[in-house]
Each structure stands twice: as structure tokens, then as C-alpha cells.
Amino acid sequence: MLEKMGAMRNAYGEALVELGANNQKVVVLGADTTDSMKSGMFGQKYPERFFNLGIAEQNLVGVAAGLAFGGKVAFAGTYAIFVPGKCVDQIRNMLCYADLDVKLVCSHAGITVGPDGGSHEQVEDLALMRAVPHMRVVVPADAVAVKGIIKGIAEIPGPFYVRITRGVIKGSNTPIVYENGFEYKLGKANVVMDGGSDVALFACGIMVPEAMRAAESLGKKGVKASVIDVHTVKPIDQETVVKYAKLCGASVSAEEHNVIGGMGSAVAEVLTDQYPIPLKRVGVNDTFGESGEAQELLNKYGLTAAHIEEAAQQAIAMKRR
């Protein structure tokens, strides 16, 4: 389990190139990070449909909006600290208010950006994007999911925000969760480890493999956990969240994001509205990050399998007898 590795950004670049061949409407925009983001792969192949706007993120989003008004499906992105960081207004008042076919795909989210430090470690993006009407928010768990999601959302009209990770291992890799492939369905969570009825582990992004490791370790101690990949944070799969709440009676959320406003908050909203059970939220505890290697930061900020396991035990202990 989880022995293969893959780079999310390479998967993004490859997915764009494949999309470009099949769909002439697809255009790609970048902001001086297209080499790092691998969106430049599309530019190599289809230079006439590729636009580098330089270090100007508000204009990046505005120009993408204009291309979408002109009938294109625009993939635009840069590092997550800059988009949505510098252009929430353009995203709200243009992409979402006009329901435009712009897919924002942003990398280097969360604290695993690593050595660049706190100024670059985006832990608010899911909260920011989730609060805007019409926006859909997706967090792929691995490189396979990135490819499936990029191809999937190209066929679904309207705005998306997709958050990808720079990498956890050897710079740009993360563990592969979906060795057998991934097909994207909007608003449908994936149950990656099923059957555990003691605790439900809701995770997204790189915390999915951590949750799987936690479930495995819990299993050895006789605690049965289910792991649900909540890749689409909005619209969240309410049915699956409630189904596993009923099955398990205790839950944990795990995300590489502030505990305020992200996937854990979305799960909490569903639970409080429909089926209240204990929920322990694993995430960045409303603080900024710092420089360090990705794994060191995950350890320090409490975002590992061990932390999820501990939270699971606490959630189980909180179950009403």
C-alpha cells in the first residue's frame, strides 16, 4: 500500500496536453510559474492557445474570464498563495458571479511548500473559495486523481478551484492512492478503505494516504476505521458523510489546511445539520507555517498518520455510551 509515487504537477501538465488534443476550446494561462506548474507542457504543444501573463494574478483571472466569455474553457493557475490569495475579488465578481468556464488549478498549497516558508504556505484557500457562491472546490489525493479530475472538470461547465501539492517526498512526489485509476464524479466522495465501523476518517489531498496509514495502524490494534477521500470539498458529498457517520458514530477530518473553514468545517456543517457525532479536526491549527522540509513540517504541525490515529481514539472516546 502506498509504495508507488507520482508528481501531481506532472500529471497536471500531461492532462492538459491530452485535453488540448481532444478539445480545441481548451486554453491555458499562467503567471510566470508555468515551468514549475508544468502547464508549460501545453504551451510547448499548443503555443497559440497558451498565454503567460507574467506576475499579474488579477489580470490572469480577468483574462481567463474574457476567454471564457469568448467561448473557451480556460485553465488558469499559479501557486496557491497568489491565486486565490491576490484575486478573490476577480474570482468572486467575475468567475463565480457570471458562472464562467474557468478552472483555477493552483499548486504549492499547504505547508509542504517547505523551505520557502510561511509567506508561501497557503492554508486558507479552501476556506476562501468555499465561501463564494457557485465555486466548486476540489483537492486531489494523488497524481492519478489529478489527471482524472482535470479531465473530468473540463466537461463540467462553470468555475472550479483545484488545489494541488508541490510534493512531500523527494521534492515533487506524493504517494499514489489510486493505483487502479480514478474517475471523477462531481460531488461524490471516494471510499478508499471501507467497512470499518468504529471511526470514519474523512481526508483530502495528501492527508488521504496519511489517513490510510492511520487506519491500517488502528486495525492492528483492533479499531476498525473507514477512510473517505472527500476530494470535492464543495459541493460536499452529504450522503456519504452521513452514511459513514451513522455507520461509525465517531469521525476525524484531516486536511493540510487551517482547521477553520476547510474540508473539516464542511464535514462539521453536514454533521451538525443532519447527524451530529463527535468529529476531531486534524489540520493546521490557525497558525502560519515556517521553513523546513515537507515531512518535518507535517510532523511539527500535527499532520501525520500518528496524529490522525490519536484524533481517532479521542473521537471514539467521545462517543455517547
Residue among 230, 308, 298, 302 at smallest CA distance from 270: 230
Question: For residues 285-301, b (16+ Cβ closer than 10 Å) or e, as one string?
Answer: eeeebbebebeebbeeb
Q: Give the range of 51-59, 124-132, 182-190, 201-209 binding another protein by CB under 8 A.
A: 51-59
Residue whose CB is less far from another protein, 12 or 46? 46
Question: For residues 7-39, b (16+ Cβ closer than 10 Å) or e, as one string?
Answer: bbbbbbbbbbbbbbeeeebbbbbbbbbbebbbb
Binding residues for another protein restricted to 79-108, rule: CB under 8 A = 89-90, 93-94, 97-99
Among 28, 65, 113, 228, binds another protein (CB under 8 A): 65
Question: For residues 265-283, b (16+ Cβ closer than 10 Å) or e, as one string?
Answer: bbbbebbeeeeebbbbbbb
Compute how many residues bind another protein; rule: CB under 8 A: 29
User: Would you state the torsion angle of the CA atoms of residues 89, 93, 95, 100, taken in this order, to the nearest 10 degrees?
Assistant: -170
Q: What's the distance, CA 25 to chain centroid?
A: 25
Residue whose CB is less far from another protein, 76 or 259? 76
Residue whose CB is less far from another protein, 95 or 271? 95
Among 69, 169, 224, 291, binds another protein (CB under 8 A): 69
Pairing of strands 136-138, 102-106: unpaired
Among 12, 42, 51, 79, binds another protein (CB under 8 A): 51
Which residues are the active-site residues?
Answer: 57
133 binds another protein (CB under 8 A): no
Q: Return all residues near 294 (Cβ < 8 A) that are at least 6 apart.
A: 111, 112, 113, 114, 166, 167, 168, 169
Rounded least distance, CB 99 to another protein, Å = 8
Among 10, 59, 291, 299, binds another protein (CB under 8 A): 59
Rounded least distance, CB 93 to another protein, Å = 4
Q: Give the range of 52-60, 126-134, 244-252, 310-318 binding another protein by CB under 8 A.
A: 52-60
Q: Angle at the Cα of 44 (from 39 to 48), degrees rounded to 5? A: 95
Which residue type, as a one-letter code, is found at position 133? P
Rounded least distance, CB 51 to another protein, Å = 7
64 binds another protein (CB under 8 A): yes
Q: Angle at the Cα of 297 (from 296 to 301), degrees rounded to 5? A: 125
Among 8, 41, 53, 123, binds another protein (CB under 8 A): 53
Among 10, 36, 58, 291, binds another protein (CB under 8 A): 58
62 binds another protein (CB under 8 A): yes
Rounded least distance, CB 261 to another protein, Å = 22
Residue whose CB is less far from another protein, 67 or 241? 67
Rounded least distance, CB 108 to another protein, Å = 21
67 binds another protein (CB under 8 A): yes
Integer Cα distance of 303 and 170 in angstroms: 18
56 binds another protein (CB under 8 A): yes
- Where are the alpha helices (H) located in the chain, listed in sequence order? 8-22, 34-37, 40-45, 57-69, 88-90, 125-130, 143-154, 207-220, 238-248, 263-274, 294-300, 305-317
Binding mask 19-48 for another protein (x = CB under 8 A): --------x--------------------x
Task: List residues binding another protein (CB under 8 A).
Answer: 27, 48-49, 51, 53-54, 56, 58-59, 61-72, 74, 89-90, 93-94, 97-99
